[in-house]
Structures are given as structure tokens and as C-alpha cells.
Structure 1
Amino acid sequence: MSKSDESTYAYVSFIRTTPEKLWSALTDPTQMKEYWFGMHFETEWKTGAAWQLLFPDGKVADTGEILEFDRPRKLRLKWRNEFKPELKAEGFALCTIELEPYGDAVRLSITHTMERADSAFIRSVAGGWPKVLSNLKSFLETGLIVITQTDHAH
């Protein structure tokens, strides 16, 4: 498959925290609800486990499988949207989350890739990740949330 046959979204943020605290925020449902608009993951957090991202009302937003779980460095997820039929029809994407110490901060890299040119799902996550990660950064650095609502575009 050539690069023209896939869609990719990549985001890098530097968060003044420790890898352990960032990992905890990424995997703990209580913390996740604080910065992810009340949404959270339900999973066993181990390689091979199924996962669901749930809306505050309990409806399923996204699902997938944990392909790699290397605490507190790397998380690879098979990821599919479940609530928008046109996005679900595109199938599964791959999401890679990497944490790397960077001085007094952590470099957080997220890459979402789908083996489909001009993916509507990748366009959707490109609108959602910046909001979620801005809130995550604010949450870990100040305890405050900047963006308080979402249009559920993703």
C-alpha cells in the first residue's frame, strides 16, 4: 500500500508532568472524564483486550482492541467509530500514543492512520484530538479544563 492509499493525522504536545502521571490520565476512567467531555474508556488495559469509548450517557462512541500496551511509553489501538454510520463503514484505524520524557515535560505523540485515501474518520479525529489534548494538557498542568463542551464530531 502506498502513502496515497492511507490517511494520517499526527499530533505532538509537550505536557509539564511525568510519564507516569500522563499515562494514568490516559488510562484512568475518572481522570479521563475530567478532560474528555465526560467520556471514558472501558477496558482491561492489556494487550489483546477489547475497549470501548463511552459517552457520558453510556452510549458507545468508539471500539477497538489494544494491540500494544507498554506502560508508560506506548499504546497502540485498533480503533473504529460506532455512532456515525458513514465513519463506522470505513472500518478500523490504527492509533499510536507514545510518551517520551523531555526535560521537565513529556512529549506526547498521537498518530491516527487508516488504510484509506481521504478518510472521513481521520478528518473527524483531526478535529477531536486537539480539543481533547488541549484539555488533557490543561488538566495535568493546572487542574483546569479549557474546553467544556464538544459537538461530538468525533
Structure 2
Amino acid sequence: MTGYLATAEVDIDAPATRVWTVLTDPAELKDLWFGADVETDWKVGNPITWSGEWEGKPFQDKGKILAVDPGRVLQFTHFSPLTGQPDVPENYHTLTYELTGSTHLTLTQDNNASEEEADHARGMWQSLLAKVKEAAES
């Protein structure tokens, strides 16, 4: 992993299989990803896209599935044109979900350009993990 890391963590009172469903089911993902439609087949090497509207602007983010180990690890790249950066590999983040223990979920985002950028991402991902927890425990 490169750049500054943003890490968010949460303990969830639900089985790993339920958490995994929340992380990968299209119906669950729309709420988690701030209203975006997430499209992918969750196969390593295949694309993932997020389409929606953010602060009144339509967007389509994109990435590629890097690792899928059901109930344990989910990893993919993510790029958003809303950053204003060029669509080149060095501007993609790698997002890694890791489920451990009974049931501890960690989300790590690499390639943040500064500690401030990492702090911003950490806050956003902590709110996403709170939604995962709420959905998995309900």
C-alpha cells in the first residue's frame, strides 16, 4: 500500500456471513455507498462501478476487483473523477475490507496524498462502517 493510510474499524454483533452479505449485496450497497448504484460481479480482475449524484453532480466512479475471500477479505481499487485528478493508476485508491475474529471489520484505504486527506477518508469510511454494523445487526 502506498501514501498515507486511512483506517476505520468496527465490531459487529452478527455472523461474518451476514456482514459479507451487507458488503456485497447490491440492495445493501446503495445505502452504504451514499446512494450510489454499485455494479460488479465480484470476480477478481473484473470492473466495479459506482453511479449516482454527489452534491448535485452526477458521477460514475470506477475500479477493479483485486481479491475476494468470502467472509474474510474484499479488496478493490477506486477512482472518482470528482477529485479532479487525471484517470491514471497513481490516482486510484485500494480499499480493503478485512473481517476477523467475531466479527471485527477493518476498512483500509491507501494512496492518500496527505494526512489531512487520510483523515477525511477515515471519517467517511467510519460512517460507512457504522451503516454496515447497523444493517448487519438488524
Q: Which residue in the other structure is 1:151 paired with?
A: none
Amino acid at match of 2:84: P
Q: Which residue in the other structure is 1:91 paired with?
A: 91
Unaligned runs of 5+ in 2: none
Contact 1:35 1:132 in 2 (8 A): yes
Amino acid at match of 1:19: A
Contact 1:35 1:139 in 2 (8 A): no
The 5-angstrom pairing of residues 68-87 of structure 1 reads 68-86=67-85
The 5-angstrom pairing of residues 71-150 of structure 1 reads 71-86=70-85, 91-102=91-102, 106-114=103-111, 117-118=113-114, 122-142=118-138
Name the TM-score, length of structure 1 as normaliser: 0.73
Count, aligned residues: 134
| Percent identity between the two aligned chains | 25
Which sits farther off after the overlay, 75-84 or 39-48?
A: 75-84
Name the TM-score, length of structure 2 as normaliser: 0.81
Q: How many angstroms does 1:130 deviate by?
A: 1.5
Aligned pair in 2 of structure 1 residues 87, 72: CA closer, same or farther (>3 Å)?
farther
Q: Which residue in the other structure is 1:38 paired with?
A: 35
Aligned pair in 2 of structure 1 residues 113, 132: CA closer, same or farther (>3 Å)?
same
| CA RMSD between the two structures | 2.7
| In 1, Cα distance between equivalents of 2:120 and 2:71 | 27
Q: How many angstroms does 1:69 deviate by?
A: 0.9
| In 2, Cα distance between equivalents of 1:129 and 1:139 | 15
Unaligned runs of 5+ in 1: 143-154
